[in-house]
Structure 1
Amino acid sequence: MRYLLCLALCFSSGVQAALHEQAVSYTAGDTTMQGYLVWDDAKGDKQPGVLVVHEWWGLNDYAKQRAKMLAELGYTALAVDMYGDGKSSEHAAEASAFMASVVERAGVSQQRFAAAEEFLRKQPGVDSGKIAAIGYCFGGATVLNMARSGADLAAVVSFHGNLSTQTPARAGQVKARILVLNGAADEFVSADSIAAFEQEMTQAGADYRFVNYPGVRHGFSNPDADRLGKANNLPIAYDAGADKQSWEAMRQLFREVFKK
């Protein structure tokens, strides 16, 4: 593990601000992962850590922007690389291949998430006992599966993530509080999968909340969704209202679990 590059220091009203952005490198098995770490040291010496797991497009500027937004709230955020070498794409076929290379190999997703989590916990400005994870699309499914596995996380938040799983949570196994933020018009999430998810969480005794935004489609939190959907013939669309509401729902959950 090593820091590769300090990318930026931000300035506001002529006074140097404390937001730090850093490209970082860590390993998962034999694969080099290129993450993006952001924190604001004016927000406190020991901050809760939040892992940000990208959409199927890979570790792009959108995931990094969300990490910066979390840092501005007082969290140390790591935008996670799940594909290796920081790969990303705006082409659906390539993104699908990237995702398949992770989800179709047993244990790879868990290994890469765990490597990122370990890296974040070891950062000197992070309160290692206060870690959460959020994810978008593919990343939403990833963080839900980590919660199902009993990962030691305070909370997980899924934004327009897939709800299906081959390894449902067992009773008493889920430690994290779970928040699922879904578009009711998401063509990738069926009513049956929602019902199955809620039944699974109830039987597991999980502390969860499911929010369905009426008329909202897949990818609702990403301002680039309209452009990417049109370019790739995908039924995805940005929704400013759902974006704002879902982010505030996440903030409220973090205020509750982190007491800040």
Structure 2
Amino acid sequence: MPGRMVEFPANGGTASGYLSTPAAGRGPGVLVIQEWWGLVRQIKSVCDRFAGEGFTALAPDMYHGKSADEPDAAGKLFMALNIAQAEKDLRGAAKALAGHSSTATLGAVGFCMGGQLALFAATLNPSIGATVNFYGIHPNVKPDYGKLAGPVLGLYAEKDSFVTPQVAREVDKAIKGAGKPSAIHIYPGVDHAFFNEERPDVYNRAAADDAWRRTLTFFRQHLK
């Protein structure tokens, strides 16, 4: 069932997002956090895929109505992200999602910029008990891993020049160093954004399908 745009309170203001619910009406709640392009069709489709698997998925609009379809414009939106506002939006989104979730524990998953924001969201909201980070990066977002309430699964690409395998291992080490469970998988021979089926230059079906299976298994294990 296709989702819909919704509004929710965000620390005195209002934010919006795309909410997709399963046929049963409610499922384990998952925050889905956008790439640097914005809240675009592909991210909405990820929410719908989660709903098809029995989850309730909410993708907050981190750019508040703006989006980009070419890298220069996306890069400008990415660097202009207001971290204080992002914190408010992520707190509000988690609270809104909790009202639609069948489980007390929520999940967070994000891609590129959203991967880093998913980690950030999990450090802000104790209700988020499982996080999947797809090749997350943002230079201004610095999560305090000691505040994570649950495990992290990191999914990375061997050929990624933005988030190299070395960076992936460093993130994994830092999370474990904070005393939190972390596991990573680095997909050989694929590039940054391999999960995005609307980017044929980097999309890799085999890696994307495997990453999707791992993500579903991880959330089904931890969202109770």
Selected match of 1:121 from 98, 107, 132:
98
The answer for the alignment partner of 2:116 in structure 1 is 141
Work out the CA distance in 2 between the residues paired with 1:249 and 1:163: 24
Alpha-carbon contact 1:163-1:197 (below 8 Å) kept: no
* Farther off after superposition, 60-69 or 186-195: 186-195
Residue 61, structure 1, aligned to residue 41, structure 2: yes
- How far the C-alpha of 1:117 sits from its partner, in A, is 1.1
The answer for the alignment partner of 1:213 in structure 2 is 187
- How far the C-alpha of 1:187 sits from its partner, in A, is 0.7
The answer for the alignment partner of 1:40 in structure 2 is 22
The answer for the alignment partner of 2:68 in structure 1 is 89
Work out the CA distance in 2 between the residues paired with 1:95 and 1:157: 23
Work out the CA distance in 2 between the residues paired with 1:21 and 1:146: 22
Alpha-carbon contact 1:216-1:239 (below 8 Å) kept: yes
SS of corresponding position for 1:154: strand
- How far the C-alpha of 1:183 sits from its partner, in A, is 0.4
Selected match of 2:145 from 150, 162, 169:
169
Structure 2: unaligned runs, 5 residues or longer: none
Structure 1: unaligned runs, 5 residues or longer: 1-18, 228-236
The answer for the alignment partner of 2:3 in structure 1 is 21
- How far the C-alpha of 1:23 sits from its partner, in A, is 1.5
After TM superposition, the structure 1 = structure 2 runs for residues 192-211 of structure 1, keeping only pairs within 5 Å, are: 192-211=166-185
SS of corresponding position for 1:47: coil
Letter in 1 for 2:72: A
Work out the CA distance in 1 between the residues paired with 2:143 and 2:45: 31
Q: Residue deviations 1:131-169, cap 9 Å, x none? A: 111111111111122334564312111122228764542
- How far the C-alpha of 1:80 sits from its partner, in A, is 1.6
After TM superposition, the structure 1 = structure 2 runs for residues 222-233 of structure 1, keeping only pairs within 5 Å, are: 222-226=196-200
After TM superposition, the structure 1 = structure 2 runs for residues 155-166 of structure 1, keeping only pairs within 5 Å, are: 155-162=130-137, 166=142
- How far the C-alpha of 1:31 sits from its partner, in A, is 5.7
SS of corresponding position for 1:59: coil
Selected match of 2:107 from 126, 132, 143:
132
SS of corresponding position for 1:52: strand
SS of corresponding position for 2:149: coil
The answer for the alignment partner of 2:223 in structure 1 is 258
Work out the CA distance in 1 between the residues paired with 2:204 and 2:76: 27
User: What is the TM-score normalised by the length of structure 1?
Assistant: 0.78
Alpha-carbon contact 2:172-2:183 (below 8 Å) kept: no
Q: 1:112–1:180: structure 2 CA closer, same or farther, 3 Å change rule?
A: same
Letter in 1 for 2:96: F
Letter in 2 for 1:158: N
Letter in 2 for 1:190: T
User: What is the aligned residue count?
Assistant: 223
Greater RCO, CA 8 A, separation 6+? 2
Work out the CA distance in 2 between the residues paired with 1:163 and 1:181: 16
Letter in 2 for 1:83: Y
The structure with the largest alpha-carbon Rg is: 1
Alpha-carbon contact 1:163-1:193 (below 8 Å) kept: no
RMSD: 2.2
- How far the C-alpha of 1:38 sits from its partner, in A, is 1.0
Q: 1:150–1:23: structure 2 CA closer, same or farther, 3 Å change rule?
A: closer
- How far the C-alpha of 1:186 sits from its partner, in A, is 0.5
Structure with the higher strand share, 1 or 2: 1
